[in-house]
C-alpha cells in the first residue's frame, strides 16, 4: 500500500530564525505585563496566598503578610 503525501507535523528546527514582528509595540507589551503582574500579586495578598520570587539566585517564598503592593 503506497504512503500518502501528508504534511509534516514536526516543529521547525530550532536553528531556523523567526521573523521579527514589526507591528508589535513593545512598550505596550511591557506595560500590559507589569499591570498583569501587579494585579496577580495584589490578588495573592488579598487572598492570603504566598508568592514565589527570585532573590540572589534562589527561589524565596514570600508570605502574604510581607507582600508589598
> Which pTM was predicted?
0.62
CA distances from 35 to 20, 25, 32, 39, 53 (A): 24, 16, 5, 6, 17
Across the range 6-23, mean pLDDT stands at 67
Query: In this model, does residue 15 exceed pLDDT 60?
Result: yes
Spell out the domain ranges in the chain. 26-66
Query: In this model, does residue 9 exceed pLDDT 80?
Result: no
Residues contacting residue 28 through CB under 8 Å, at least 6 positions apart:
none
Across the range 4-16, mean pLDDT stands at 64
Supply the pLDDT for residue 17.
Answer: 75
Query: Which of 44, 24, 3 has the alpha carbon at shortest distance from 69?
Result: 44
Amino acid at each position: 500500500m503506497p504512503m500518502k503525501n501528508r504534511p509534516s507535523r514536526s516543529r521547525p528546527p530550532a536553528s531556523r530564525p523567526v521573523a521579527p514582528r514589526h507591528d508589535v509595540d513593545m512598550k505596550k507589551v511591557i506595560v500590559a505585563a507589569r499591570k498583569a503582574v501587579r494585579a496577580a500579586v495584589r490578588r495573592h495578598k488579598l487572598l492570603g496566598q504566598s508568592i514565589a520570587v527570585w532573590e540572589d539566585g534562589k527561589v524565596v517564598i514570600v508570605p502574604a503578610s510581607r507582600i508589598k503592593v
